[in-house]
Each structure stands twice: as C-alpha cells, then as structure tokens.
Amino acid sequence: MSMLKFLLRRTLQGVFVIWGVVTVLFGLRAVSPGDPASLMLGQGATQELVERVREVEGLNEPIYVQYADYLGSLVRGDLGYSWRSEREVEMMVLERVPATIELAVAATVIALLIAVPLGVVSATRRGTASDYGATLFSLLGISTPNFWLGLMLILVLGVWYGIPYPSLSGSGSVPIGVGFVDLPTGRRAVGFGEALMAIVQEGSFGEMGLWLKHITLPAITLGTYFTALITRLTRSGMIDEFGKPYVTATQSKGLPGVLVRYKHVLRNTMIPIITVLGLQMGTLMGGAVITETVFNWPGLGLRLIDALGVRDWPLMQGIILFIAIMFVTINIVVDALYTYLDPQVSVE
Amino acid sequence: MSEDLLRITGLSTRFFTDEGQVNAVSDLDATVERGEVFGIVGESGSGKSVTALSIMDLVESPGEITAGSIEYRNADLAADVREDHPEAVDGEFVDLLGVTSSVRRSLRGTAFSMIFQDPESSFNPTLTIGEQIAEAVEVQRRASATPRLSRGVEYSFASLMASTVLGSKKFVTAESRERAIELLELVGIPDPVKRAEEYPHEYSGGMLQRAMIAQALAGEPDVLVADEPTTALDVTIQAQILDLLADLQEETGMTILLITHNLGVIARMCDRVGVMYAGEIVERGTLADVFDDHVHPYTEGLLGSVPDLERVGDRLRPIPGNVPSLLDDEMDDRCYFADRCPKAMDACLDHPPSYDARGEEHAARCVLAEMDYDESRALPEGYFGEGERPAADREAEPHGAEIEPDGAGGTRERGENE
C-alpha cells in the first residue's frame, strides 16, 4: 500500500518535472529568432502556405493562448505535426524508440559485463598490475570523448580492418557493404525484435548476426564512459565495503571466500551502483545523440540532430519531451527498486 | 586443573603502516585451559583485539603475525595435518601459525568463533539474521561432512553462479535455516521463526548481540572469542548478555576468551586473567592473583581507578600519563609502563621479561616480582622528559575536582574504567 502511495507521489512529482521541461521548450521556441511558420516550412515556401500554417498552428494567437493550446494538445497525447516531413511527430518519435533503447541497453550490458568483473579484480587485487591496468583503463574511458572514440573505431576497425558498421545504403563513400538504414523509409535493415523472431520462427540466426554486427561498435562507443565509471564505482565501493566490520564477522564464521566476496561484499556494493546506473540513463540518452550521429544509427538522437538541422521545432520538442519522460520514469523505477534491494530503505 | 587448550607463546603481531611499524602485540604468552573463561583486560589500544584477531587468523594487511606460536589442542586436527605439516604438530597440539591459511579457515566457526564489540555493524545489513546464522550452521554441516577437516568448506564461484537459477546449488540449505531458528530460540530471542526473517536494523542492540552469540554457537566451537561483547550495550542489557554467556558456557562446556576493558565484567565472568599493556600481557594469573595479590603497578593503577561506592565524593584516581605509542621507532627498550609508574626504578630501564610471581601460574612482567621497591633506586621526577607526567597530572586534577558526590561526574571521567 505504501509502495502504491510512493509511486503515486513520485509520478506526480515527475509530471511537474515534465511540465517544467515542456514550458522551457515552449519558451525557447518563442524566443528563438525567426518566424516559426517559415522555419517549419523551410526556405522557398510560398507566402500563402506560411499564412495557412500560421492559422492552423494558431501562431496568430497571443502567446499565452498558444501555450495553453500546446499544453492541451500534449495532454491529449498529440505531439504535433512536422510540416517538414509532413508526418505526425508522434509516429516519427515512436518509430525511432526501439533503435535507441536497443543501443542504450546494449551499451549498459557491455558496460556491466566488463566493468563489474574489472572492478572486482581491481578491488580484490589492490596494488597489483591488474589493479593499475583497470584503473588506467577507467581513467582513459572516462576522459575519452564519445565522438572521437566512435570515429576511431570506424577508422581502425571499419576502414582499416574491414569490420562492418552501419551506414546509409547507397552511399558510395562508405566502403563496407551492408547498409543499415533503408533510406527511403528511414527504417533499419533489422531490429532486435525482428532478429529474435527470425530465430524463433525460422531458426535463422543470420538476422541476429547482422544485428550484432551493426550494434557492436556503437554500443562500445556509447558504453565506454559508462564502463569506466562503473569500474571505478565497483572498485571503490568494494574497497569501502571490505573495510566494514561485518566482513570480518562474516569471515569469522569460516565462510568460503567466494561467498564473502560475492554474496556479501559485491552484493552490497551493487546496491548504490544500481542507482547510478539509473541516473546515468539520462547521460546515456545524451551520449546517444552523438553516437547515433557518428554511426548513423537510426535512433531518436539522430532524428533530433536532423530536426535541429532544419529547425523542425515540433519534432525537436517531441523528441526532447519523450527523452524527459523516459528519464523521469527510469528514475522512479530505480527508486522503487532501491527499496526492494536495500531492506534498510523503506518508501517512507 | 583441567588440560590446556590453547598455548600462546611469544606471539607478535605487527602492522606495517606508512607511519612505520606498529607493534600491536609483542611477545605475548598465555595459556587457556579447556572450559575456562580467560579474560584479557587492558586499555583501548593495548592490543587486546589484535590478539583475538591473531587467534582467529583475521589480521588483515598491513598487519602480520611476525613471531610466536599459537598451539591448539585437537587430536583430530593433529592427525589430519601431521602428514603435511609435521613440524607444526606436537602431540595433540597443532601450531596454528605453522599450517596453511585454508586449514586456519576451516577452524573458523568450528573450532574458534568470535563475537564482536558492535553487533549493529557486525551483521550484513542487507541479509536477514536467519540467513546469516544459517550460513554459519552450513559451514559447520559441510565441514563435518568432509572427511578431512583440513580441507575446509569449499564452495566455488561456479556453484554461486548456478545458485541464482538452481535452488539446489544454494549454499544455505533448509536444514540450516531450521537450525538457525533453534539457535535463536536458544539465546532467548522471542518468536524466532518470525525474527529470523528480519533484517539487522529491525533488531535492538541487545537482541543483535544475542543473535551474534547464536551465530557464534552455530559451529559448536571449542573456543568462543568475545571481543568487548557488552561495550556497545546498555548496562541492564550488558548483565543479560553476560548471564547468557555464562549459562551457555555451563551447558556446552566451551572455553571463552573474554576481551574487555571492564574490570567488573572480568570479576564477574573470568577464572583467569591477563592484563595487557602496550601489546604485552604484563600480569597474568587467577582472578584472585590479579585482583588481590597483584605485583605490577599497572594492575594496581587499573584497579585503583575503578570508582568505589564506599569512597563516594573522592576523586577518581586515573593512572597519570597516556598509553604509549606503539610505533616501533618510538618504543624505547625499557619497561613500557615506567614513564607512568609510581615505582619506577633504574632497573626498569631494561625491558623486563615475564617473572614468576607469588601464586601458581601467576606471572608479571615487572621487576617488582623479583625485588622490593627501593626508593634509593627510584628514577628522578621528570626522568622521561618534561611534560609527560606533569601534563597528565594537570589533566587529572580539574576533572577529579568536578566529580559530584552522587557520582554524576563518573561518566565524564570514565576513561577505560567503568
């Protein structure tokens, strides 16, 4: 019951946060230079068309009416219309969500798979060569910019050593064969869901192979900072935890070392790391914009950059709003999870 | 008297820190008999806890046992390790410092178990009490199922991984959980079935200490090392915990090594006592030897500093000066207590060995065990440098004057004597 109350309260708080984001977005659009209708349509639009858009979008109304209209349509779930693409923003956002989520999840999985063992080795063999190696790796990982790492991976593994990465099909400048984005429809060649279905229904692993081939480099690029961060957190968290009296007490029971290290120490170390993981999801989304651009990964980030390039305000607002909602939701989920993981924390 | 169970000879434990070598325990001798309560008493920083950890083999880096032997009488263990470590075996005794760390680990929980000063931080906060006690039970169950004691309890990383999907690979079995509940009942925890499912923060301090005792009893150990078991508890709870320990000892016949700074606890519980100062046992003997017939001026000072109801209104009489630094560089080769000792003589400038004193098995690391105090040989006032003794006196004076007749000042003046 109290859990339900907690979720309700946090959701209400989340709604206020989203409302703030919406307001800032609206304000930015209002103060940005240029006539919104001309911007929406781009250069070369006729005066009549501009007038019609002004009328349809309510741009002739006073600003507070526009704001109220905007909020009203959002509440109804209407994100607006992209005059540039002549499509509903809603669809343009939703169709790109799976690619971004796949990328973010793959980056997180890679990060956890590498970071946790590395952090454990580092903490349990403090002062050895493997510890210094792991520390150096995490220092490099934290200080390497995403876009540079992505470009280097493409250059070294893609161009020099010929491991495929996603590219626009039909783009002649790209040396590697398989195009990932089907340009006319803007869709991907294969998504994780499709690849999974192919295995289940037809027993064909080719699609999954294709998916893995394409996602590996972007996921490594996006996940490197994350990997470095979690390595550090795991290391310092475990070292802290090893210093606590309960570890000595647990050892005094004669428990095998593997249980002391993992069942007790690592488990307790992971509890705060889960929180960081949740909070970092936002950063991951931000990083995805760059990574998606570098790898031409057809996710939300790439669409945001495209929208920015042509000042497609409705689309930009829609994408940013969606990212904000994801961020708030993940945080609520992580907080709820925390009360489950750490018995000392209750929802009160 | 009954047979010896533990013979500690010349035990030295050092910590190699950035500031230098710290001599936490130096050349410590003690013998613990089966079924007795042996007390170690001393001020904070005198090396009591490190002694306990040395016995448990839980001294952690940068600490290291550098010399001595800890011989433990266990015929089965002696038979087990004779082949691999013939030099460590002497009859039924096994020198624990001569066997591998896996043998040492196999003894934890089953031969020696330990209860700690602060029960609240000595349990893992994220596992239930029942689970944590059941782990200790499981260690014992698995150890007794293994034919060779020295092999210890093995549980691989692969089993741990598999345990997340396969219940059968879990370390703790249902039988152990049931036994954990029995143990909770044994130490007087009401409604043990329900309380086993609770987390440490849901327990009170006294209950947690009971749970820790239950956990320590899980492996039916020969020796229970109790490191300041009552220090973190309220006075009324302290008495309950001591009663519980005394009852359990009577029932099981286990040996207790009781470490405390509280002379009241020693007087109440112990058969024999070792008084520790600066990493050494400076006086040891039966309770009567130490309390009524002591030789060492430190023992005398320690006993004299206990508040006495018959002297209400008197000042407390703390031992002047401070506990000496245990840094190797700063320790002179003399009696470490000489700078605070009211009876320091020129003979105290040599480090005293352990002398036999008046009673049987009564020994003191003090020249006064061999000779009488001779005023003509006394060291002049301020011999160990200006500041040490006078400063301590200054500190003692105003505090002492503040003590109220009703004893309210006692808390302010506690130091290590409660």
Rounded to 10 degrees, what is the CA torsion of A60, A63, A66, A72?
A: -160
* A201 touches A207 (CB < 8 A): no
Question: In terms of domains, do A293 and A156 share one?
Answer: yes
Q: Residues of chain B with pLDDT > 70: what percent?
A: 88
Residue of chain B whose Cα is closest to the Cα of A265: B124
pLDDT tens for B95-113 read 999 888 888 888 888 889 9
Report the CATH number at residue A192. 1.10.3720.10
Tens-digit pLDDT profile for residues A306-337:
888 888 888 999 999 998 998 898 888 888 88
Q: For residue A9, is it within any domain?
A: yes
Task: Tell whether A216 is covered by a domain.
Answer: yes
pLDDT (0 to 100) of residue A178: 32
Instruction: Answer yes or no: are the C-beta atoms of B142 and B153 closer than 8 Å.
Output: yes
Q: Which domain holds residue A20?
A: 3-94
pLDDT band at B409 (very low <50, low <70, confident <90, very high): very low
| Contact residues on chain A for B136, CB-CB shorter than 8 A | 253-255
Q: Would you state the pLDDT for residue A188?
A: 66
A339 vs B: CB within 8 A: no
Residue A323 domain flag: no
Residues A193 and A279 both lie in one domain: yes
> What pLDDT, on the 0 to 100 scale, is given for residue A133?
93
Residue B19 vs residues A285, B22, B61: alpha-carbon distances, Å? 47, 8, 15
- Closest-CA distance, A275 to chain B, in angstroms, reads 16
Q: Are residues A64 and A210 in the same domain?
A: no
Whether the Cβ atoms of residue A332 and residue A7 lie closer than 8 Å to each other: yes
Residue A127 lies in a domain: yes
* Contact (CB<8Å) A258/B114: no
Q: Is the pTM of this model over 0.90?
A: no
Mutate to test the interface with B, among A113, A246, A342 (most CBs of B within 10 A): A246
Answer yes or no: do A259 and B108 touch at CB < 8 A: no
A5 CA: distance to closest CA in chain B (Å): 23
Is the CB of A254 less than 8 angstroms away from the CB of B118? Answer: no
The two three-digit tokens of residue B325, written as one number? 């630094």
Of A94, A129, A159, which one is at a domain's C-terminal end?
A94
Residue B83: pLDDT band by 50, 70, 90 thresholds?
Answer: confident
**Token pair belonging to A171:** 């783009």
Write down the mean pLDDT value for chain B.
Answer: 83
Nearest C-alpha of chain A: how many angstroms from B216?
7
Residue B415 distance to chain A (closest CA, Å): 24
Asked if A58 and A111 sit in the same domain, the reply is: no
Q: Does A77 touch chain B (CB under 8 A)?
A: no
The predicted model gives A119-130 an average pLDDT of 91
Q: What are phi and psi of B334, to 5 degrees?
A: -150, 180
Cross-strand pairs, B38 = B257, B272
pLDDT digits (tens, 9 = 90+) for B267-306: 999 999 999 998 899 999 999 888 888 888 899 888 887 7
Task: Tell me how many domains chain A contains.
Answer: 2
Q: Any alpha helices (H) in A189-312, and if so which ranges?
A: 192-197, 206-242, 245-252, 257-258, 267-295, 300-309
The H or E element that residue A57 is part of is none
Is A277 domain-assigned? yes
Structure tokens at B163: 């345990």
Average pLDDT over residues B191-204: 93
Residue range A271-275: mean pLDDT, rounded: 86
Residues of chain B in contact with residue A257, where contact means CB-CB under 8 angstroms, are 105
Using one digit for the tens of pLDDT, what is the confidence trace for B303-333? Answer: 887 777 776 777 777 787 777 888 888 887 8
What is the 3 state secondary structure string of A131-199? Answer: HHHHHHHHHHHHHCCHHHHHHHHHHHHHHHCCCCCCCECCCCCCCCCCCCEECCCCEECCCHHHHHHHH
pLDDT (0 to 100) of residue B381: 72
Phi-psi region of A80 (alpha: psi -120 to 50; beta: other; left: phi over 0): left
Average pLDDT (A102-117) is 91
What mean pLDDT do residues A173-185 have? 40
pLDDT (tens digit per residue) in B114-125: 999 888 999 999
A43 with A170, same domain?
Answer: no
Pairwise CB contact (< 8 Å): B124 & A254: no
Query: Is residue B351 predicted with pLDDT exceeding 70?
Result: yes
Lowest mean pLDDT among B60-69, B95-104, B293-302, B404-413: B404-413
Residue A199 lies in a domain: yes
Q: A267 to chain B nearest CA, in Å?
A: 9
Determine whether the interchain pair B124/A246 forms a contact, defined as Cβ–Cβ distance below 8 Å.
Answer: yes
Q: Do B126 and A256 touch (CB under 8 A)?
A: no
Pair B216, B113: CB distance under 8 Å: yes
A125 touches chain B (CB under 8 A): no
Tell me which chain B residues have a C-beta less than 8 angstroms from the C-beta of A266.
none
pLDDT at B404: 37
Q: Are residues A124 and A209 in the same domain?
A: yes
Evaluate the CA torsion angle B383, B384, B386, B390 in order and state its sign.
negative
What pLDDT does A347 receive?
60
pLDDT digits (tens, 9 = 90+) for B154-181: 788 888 888 877 777 788 888 999 999 9
Higher local confidence (pLDDT), B49 or B417? B49
Q: Which of B53, B102, B121, B122 to mutate to test the interface with A (most CBs of A within 10 A)?
A: B122
Share of chain A above pLDDT 90, in %: 29
Asked if A139 reaches chain B (Cβ–Cβ under 8 Å), the answer is: no
User: Pick from A68, A94, A120: which residue ends a domain?
Assistant: A94
pLDDT of amino acid A319: 92
What's the confidence (pLDDT) of residue A126?
87
Q: What is the distance between the alpha carbons of residues B316 and B100, in angstroms, rounded to a whole number?
A: 49
The one-character DSSP state at B354 is P
SS3 content of chain A, % helix, strand, coil (to 5): 75, 5, 25
User: How long, in residues, is chain A?
Assistant: 348
Angstrom distance (rounded) from CA A89 to CA A226: 31
For residue B296, the SS3 value is coil
Q: Could B153 and A253 be called an inter-chain contact, meaning their C-beta atoms sit closer than 8 Å?
A: no
Q: At residue B294, what is the residue type?
A: H
B160 neighbourhood in chain A, CB within 8 Å: 258-259, 262-263
Q: Which of B364, B366, B368, B369 is nearest to B275 (CA)?
A: B364
Residue A255 included in any domain:
yes
